[in-house]
Amino acid sequence: MKKIFKCALLVSLFVIFCSDISTAQVSKELQRAHKKWLHRVNKNSKRLDRLYLKQSLLITQDETVFGQMPIMQLVAQKREFYKSLSSSHSIKLFEHSDRKVLDIGNIFMEDENDMIIDTLFYVIAWRRVGDDWFHEVDIIFPADKIATGGGELNRPRSAWIQYANSDQVELLANGLFLPDGMYLNNSELSKGHPAIARRLEFMKNPNFHINLETKELYAVEKKTVIDIGNWITNEFVGYYLIIWKKDENDSWKIFLYFNF
């Protein structure tokens, strides 16, 4: 029995050790990808398209842009903003696999004298294709910390789970998404209630059951919260990212639902 226990312990330690090595390697690769992105947005490089998937999504405080070329056009239009971005610092990585990672951190802005003048909050959904890392989702907001109001999100999140598990995808789309809300999965974007409901038809299955477990909440504005956690079914576990926004009735609704 002692030998079996020792073998099991050694196997567990080996798995943890290999996992740590993998995480460290991914972290180093993403650091290089960050530097490459900053260099190219600073210079307004035409090679920026090599850092975004063709069906990528960029969300800032003022803009929502979908598609590689529209993102490049926005960077060109917002030269003063993008050329002021100097460095970044990753705070947390959520690894779905060695090819799909959610990355949360800060971007620092500098003036002409290389003095830091502002700090921004970012979330990037990275996807590795071949040996290169690409942005699939790029979210940039001011880094001001605001009370998350996490308890307020329990009810709409529970409603999401209830609708999903009771085949009520129309209620899920119409009741929980903003009119211009979006669902992004596998680089396919669906926008608006009818399109989102159609994408969620796969939930109409008696054997389908899903749960959402929150890991982190980031309030980036008084009426905007980024919710990151695990979606869990009978067979699989992955990561989700929800941007919640308050509508005109002060109710929390989904602006973006993204998952790996």
What pLDDT score was predicted for residue 46? 78
Any bridge partners for residue 106, and if so which?
A: 89, 121
What's the one-letter identity of residue 186?
N
> Tokens at residue 219, please?
């309030």
Cα–Cα separations (whole angstroms), residue 188 to 28, 49, 59, 197: 28, 18, 16, 14
In tens, the pLDDT along 73-93 reads 999 999 999 999 999 999 999
Mean pLDDT, range 154-163, rounded to an integer: 97
Q: Give the residue ranges of DSSP H helices in 44-153.
A: 68-77, 79-82
| Residues 27-44, mean pLDDT to the nearest whole number | 93
At 146, is the pLDDT very low, low, confident or very high (cuts 50, 70, 90)? low
Query: Are both 17-142 and 150-259 of the same fold?
Result: yes
| 209 secondary structure, DSSP code | -
Higher pLDDT, 14 or 47: 47
Each residue of 136-145: pLDDT tens digit?
Answer: 999 999 987 6
Give the torsion through C-alpha atoms of 146, 163, 203, 208, to 10 deg: 100
As a 3-state breakdown, the chain gives helix, strand, coil percent values, each rounded to 5, of 35, 45, 20
Q: What is the pLDDT of residues 174-212, one digit of tens each?
A: 999 999 999 999 999 999 999 999 999 999 998 999 999
Tell me the helices (H) and strands (E) count for the chain, helix number first. Answer: 6, 12
Strands 188-191 and 252-259: what pairing? unpaired
Q: How confident is the model at residue 201, as a pLDDT?
A: 97
* DSSP per-residue codes, 195-237: HHHHHGGGG--TT--EEEEEEEEEEEETTEEEEEEEEEESS-E
The residue extents of the domains of the chain are 17-142, 150-259
Q: Please name the fold of domain 150-259.
A: Nuclear Transport Factor 2; Chain: A, (3.10.450)
Is 17-142 CATH 3.10.450.50?
yes
Q: Is the pLDDT of residue 16 over 60?
A: no
Q: Does the pTM exceed 0.85?
A: yes
**Average pLDDT of 1-21?**
44
Contact of 88 with 107, CB cutoff 8 Å: yes
- Distance between CA atoms of residues 90 and 124, nearest Å: 10
Task: Report whether pLDDT(222) > 90.
Answer: no
Calculated CA dihedral for residues 190, 193, 198, 202, nearest 10 degrees: 90
**202-213 residue pLDDT tens:** 999 989 999 999
Q: Give the pairing of strands 237-246 and 252-259.
A: antiparallel
Name the β-bridge partners of 107: 88, 120
- Work out whether the CA dihedral 5, 96, 178, 169 comes out positive or negative: negative
Average pLDDT score, the chain = 90
